[in-house]
């Protein structure tokens, strides 16, 4: 965030405000996760270029590496920085 503030300040902006936004998505199990994420535009285009074996390999690696609890629920999180400023009058 400090790098963004410095960048905006260096561009001459004033009254700079910033904050971090964190979100979580919860999935009941891997099948729920896969059905919702595989249809996303950013992933579906890549999946269209892969063979069935490659897709199964990807699914296996995700299943192994995604954080999940004892009941198989998956929780993923993401973070973004938001910043705003005003042009000097």
Give the tens place of pLDDT for each residue, 17-41. Answer: 999 999 999 999 999 999 999 989 8
> What is the C-alpha end-to-end distance of the chain, expressed in Å?
25
Q: pTM of the predicted model, to two decimals? A: 0.66
Task: State percent of the chain over pLDDT 90.
Answer: 82
Distance CA 26, CA 76 (A): 7
Per domain, the residue ranges of the chain are 2-87
Measured between alpha carbons, how far is 86 from 13 in angstroms, rounded to an integer? 5
């Amino acid at each position: 965030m400090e790098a963004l503030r410095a960048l905006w300040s260096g561009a001459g902006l004033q009254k700079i405000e910033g904050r971090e936004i964190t979100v979580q998505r919860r999935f009941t199990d891997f099948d729920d996760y896969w059905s919702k994420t595989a249809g996303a535009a950013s992933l579906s285009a890549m999946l269209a270029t892969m063979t069935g074996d490659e897709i199964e390999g990807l699914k296996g690696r995700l299943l192994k590496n995604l954080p999940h609890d004892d009941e198989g629920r998956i929780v993923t999180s993401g973070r973004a920085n938001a910043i705003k400023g005003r042009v000097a009058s």
